[in-house]
Each structure stands twice: as structure tokens, then as C-alpha cells.
Amino acid sequence: MNTRLTAAVLALALLATGCTTAVIGDSLSKVDKPVVLIPEEPAKWAAGRIDPCTLLTAAVPLTITPGSAYLVRPHRCEMEVTKDSWDKFTVELEVGARFHHGDRADSAPVTARGLLAYQRLSISEMTSNTCEVFLPLSSTAAILVTSRAEGRERDPGIACATPRGFVDRVAGELERPEAHLHRPGPMLAKWDMCEVLGGALDRPAPEPGRNRDECSARLDSGKYISLAAQHGDDPAVRVEAPETIVQLNGVAAKRHRFDSSEPLACTLSWAQEAVPISRYGNSFHVLQLSGAACEEFPALANKVRAVLSAEPPGAPAPGRLGLPDGAQDEETDPACRIFTNAWPDTCRAAKPAIPRQGVNAIMAAVGESSGGDELCAMLADAMRTVTLREPVVAVVDDIHKWGCAARTPDYSLAVNLGVGPDESLTGLADWLCLTGSRWGDGTVDGRQARNCTHHGGVRTVAGVTGKDVYVAVRGSAEAEGILKITGSLHHPVGISDILRPAQDAEKAALVDRVAEHVARRYFTS
């Protein structure tokens, strides 16, 4: 079996669910793409200078009764607010939150006083509905306002109204950020934890965490460690076996050893600084080193504390924070937001192209730089004909094979198209359908084909969540040359519901019609 094509088939199947990262190949590496330069300095300045609690307090809408603002991490503050006299819920604000391509792909674009913003709503039957609204400061960082909606606020139609109101006020406050700066002097909130860990190791720490308050690195010994800041009591006050006290320079730390089989073999925690605004008395920002380097942690902790004894190098104050609505705010092509795992070198918007006709001509074009554009022209034509709507399409570089990804305008139906010139349905029989799919053999435009129907659902009746169609373009299942069309259903962009995945057997059946259209119109020799 051709293992490279097998990998391509599996990768395209995962691409339909947004679970793969494409690999750089000939089709895109030969394409000249404009470089979008988005400076990171404004985001770095904001993350190190702006006090999240001061900004959150200033951003409370007039319709909201605020509570007190409390730090929960150096860069994140929370407040319990009241709306309409009785609806109480929590609002959080984080300055310098990580914000990458996948976050944009999962979010719906909105505006806040002329600035670009994004929102996404996570619906839950068990807990509060969480709405996140991002105000980008650069291609990788944003100010994030999160609301955990309770009561009437749980209604998906209004769950994002409150954080949108806060973000709108935040956008106004960014015109005068000097009113929300940290007090002078060293403090954790002025640092990105990767800068701290990199300074302690005397080299850049390569792996940023989920936020600026955590980071990971691999030591020269090969051991993997992480450094994180969190809120809590002084760890050294209460020690129980097998925990021990380790004396650092100026502070006592608590060391906890785990069994050697545990992924985290050791932690070393200490109270780095008192929290200036705390919900509970005697609260601290606690730093914790984790990993399998127990003997190295005390010396490393002292180096971390030495780095934090000074203020970080100051980034210049930006002329304006936030990006104007309509600006391209990442290097990856915006058309590639039709799936979460995309990179500038693996995806781009499709260019106008006239597709070749006939099986031999199409299969011979595999690997050519224009091949992806031709596939996208085929797929766009089929989607337009079947759904009566103009799709969003992008060329995907997939294991040195070109392919096309498309979605309907509301992103609710994703369809991907690829070809395999040197493999057959028979040869790939064991690889074509994902585990748990229901499959069957049939025909498309009179050619042998395999159909895979995906089902999903948690705590609800399982329904159809996607459909894949593989067509033997030369007619016989044994003949080389396949057309692969995968389809998956999604909630509208900006909405996720893990317990109730998008299910629609009728919409999934559109994939059959797309396959029929492409096979009949373009693959007839």
C-alpha cells in the first residue's frame, strides 16, 4: 500500500473534524504569499503594564451592578456582578490572553467601538453557559472578557450580551490606557512566565502555556518542566508527609515528590508575592515548578526569584491599542478559518481557476501549484449548485497532495475534496471509514463507491454528524484513482455545544449530491 497516500486519506478525514495540522508540501511552498506583519509590541506592553482589575472596574456597563474585583492570576481578574437586581454571575477579564488562529476559527467576528473583536459561546446543560469575547491586540494576544451566565443570562440568544457590553467599554478605555497601569515596582503581573523561565535558564523557554502565567521548557538534561503562577495560601504554612520544606533565598518552599511513575515527579511551590486585591485574607501569588527535576528545582527557583526581583525590559508605549474592524489580524489567510489547524505555509484562499476535464488530466495534475485551485473551483461549483449559497473555500497542502476545504457561509457544513491517483478503493478498504462510522458500498455516477456515515451525541439521541464518500473514478474498485469527499456538520461559527453536536441527516446527505456533481461534471473521460 502507498503509505503516503494512506496518510493523506487519514489526514483529510481528520481535517473534516478540525483535528489535523496539514504538512508543508509542493503545492503551497511554490506559491508566493504576501507576508502580513502584525507587531507584537502593543500586546506585550499592555500585558505588562495594564492592571486587569482596574480595567475591569472601569469597564462595568451602566446596566450592571458591580461587586468587588479580585485577582485570580497575575493577568486575570474576576468580579461577581448583578443584572436586573437579581441575576448574579461572574465576569472575568484577562490582559494578554493567548489568541491564535484556532481561536479565531472558533469565534464569530464582532466589533467594539470600531475595533475588531470576536466572540464564542459554549453551551452546557450541566453548568453555566460561558461566553468569551476577545479584543485582539496582536496576532497572538488579546484582552479577553469571559462571562459565566446563570439564570436568564443562560439563554444562548443573550448570553454574550453582558461580556459584549464590557468589551465595548474596554475598547473605549483603551484610548487612555495610562489610567489603568500597574503601580511602580517589581511584580509578577508585569512578566510573561516564559520570559521569567527563559531568564532563569539563560535561554528562551520554547513552549508558552495556555496563558501568560504559565510556561514549559526542556532542561539541558532532557527533563521537561513547567513554571506556573496561581492564587492561593502560602504553601509552606501547611506541610504533610511526604511533603518537605525547602529553604530558598528569602522564602520557604514546599516540595512534593510523586511516585516515579507519575508524569509530574515533583513540584516545588512558594509564595512569591502577596496579592494586592484578594477575595480572601493572607492570599498570595504562588509559583510552582513541576516536572521530573526535583534536585534541580531549588537552584532554578532561586534563579526565577532573581529574575523577578527587577522589572522586565519595558516595551515602548503604543500609539493605539486594538486593531480596526476589517483589518487582517493574523498571518494565516482569513479564508483558512474554515478549520482550526491551519498555518500560513499550509493553507491559502483559493484563486480563480478553470478545472481540467477528465480523469487522466485531473490525476496528472497532482502536485502542481494550480491543482488546489482547480479542485476548489470544482468544489465551489458543486457546493453552489447543491446548497444555493456561495461557499468559503481554501487550498490545503496535505502530505504533498493538494486538496480543497469548503464551508457554507454560516460554517455549519464543511466539505473537503481530495484525490488519490495511485490508490484504489480495494487497497484502502481498511482505512476509509473512521472507527464507529456506518459504512456501505454503492455507486456514484455509475462508479463504485464507499459511503461512511458518522454518528454522534452525548446524553442525547445519537444523530448523523457527517458523511464521507469515496469514488473509484475509473469505475472499478480495483482500479487506481479515487475521489474523496468528506463532510461534517457544525454549529454556526462562534457556538459550541459538546453535549449536543450538530446533527442533521438531511444536510449530511448533501455530501452525496456534491460527490455526484463533481464526478459527473469533471471526472468523465
- What CATH code is carried by the domain that includes residue 156? 2.60.120
Q: Are residues 411 and 518 in the same domain?
A: yes
Spatial neighbors of 114 by CB under 8 A, at least 6 apart, are 171, 324, 325
Q: Are residues 267 and 344 in the same domain?
A: no
Q: Is residue 92 part of a domain?
A: yes
Q: Are residues 62 and 133 in the same domain?
A: yes
Q: Is residue 10 part of a domain?
A: no
CA distances from residue 429 to 149, 434, 449 in whole angstroms, order as listed: 47, 11, 11
Q: Are residues 161 and 196 in the same domain?
A: no
Q: What count of other Cβ atoms lies within 10 Å of the Cβ of residue 169?
A: 20
Q: Is residue 217 part of a domain?
A: yes
Q: Is residue 193 part of a domain?
A: yes
**How many structural domains are present in the chain?**
3
Q: Is residue 400 part of a domain?
A: yes
Q: Are residues 429 and 483 in the same domain?
A: yes
Q: Is residue 166 part of a domain?
A: yes
Q: Is residue 24 part of a domain?
A: no
The three grid cell numbers given for residue 237, joined into one nine-digit string: 504554612
Strands 214-218 and 224-232: antiparallel
At residue 502, the 3 state secondary structure works out as coil
Burial of 102 (0-12, 13-18, 19+ CB in 10 A): middle
Residue 411 phi/psi, 5-degree rounding, is 65, 10
371-387 helix and 510-522 helix, angle to the nearest 10 degrees: 130
The three grid cell numbers given for residue 183, joined into one nine-digit string: 503601580
Q: Are residues 290 and 424 in the same domain?
A: no
Contact 285, 230 (CB under 8 A): yes
Q: Are residues 277 and 395 in the same domain?
A: no
Q: Are residues 107 and 134 in the same domain?
A: yes
Q: Are residues 45 and 147 in the same domain?
A: yes
Q: How many helices (H) and strands (E) does the chain have?
A: 12, 24
Q: Are residues 338 and 285 in the same domain?
A: no
Q: How far apart are CA 75 and CA 229, in angstroms?
A: 10
Q: Are residues 219 and 165 in the same domain?
A: no
Q: Are residues 162 and 251 in the same domain?
A: no
- Residue whose grid cell is 479515487: 482
Residue 24 φ/ψ region, left for φ over 0, alpha for ψ in the -120 to 50 degree band, beta for the rest: beta
Q: Is residue 158 part of a domain?
A: yes
pLDDT in tens, the chain (525 residues): 333 333 333 333 434 333 332 222 333 443 445 555 688 999 999 999 999 999 999 999 998 999 999 999 999 999 999 887 667 788 999 999 999 999 999 999 999 999 999 999 988 776 778 999 999 999 999 999 999 877 676 677 788 988 999 999 999 999 999 999 998 888 999 999 999 999 999 988 678 888 999 999 998 888 889 999 998 899 999 888 888 999 999 999 999 988 655 556 899 999 999 987 767 666 899 999 999 888 899 999 999 999 999 988 877 788 889 999 999 999 999 999 987 888 888 899 999 999 999 998 888 877 676 888 999 999 999 999 999 999 999 998 753 456 899 999 888 899 999 888 888 998 887 777 766 678 888 999 999 999 988 877 544 445 778 889 999 999 899 999 999 999 888 888 888 876 677 777 888 889 999 999 999 999 986
What domain range is 109 assigned to? 40-179
Q: How far apart are CA 332 and CA 357, in angstroms?
A: 31
The three grid cell numbers given for residue 126, joined into one nine-digit string: 450541566
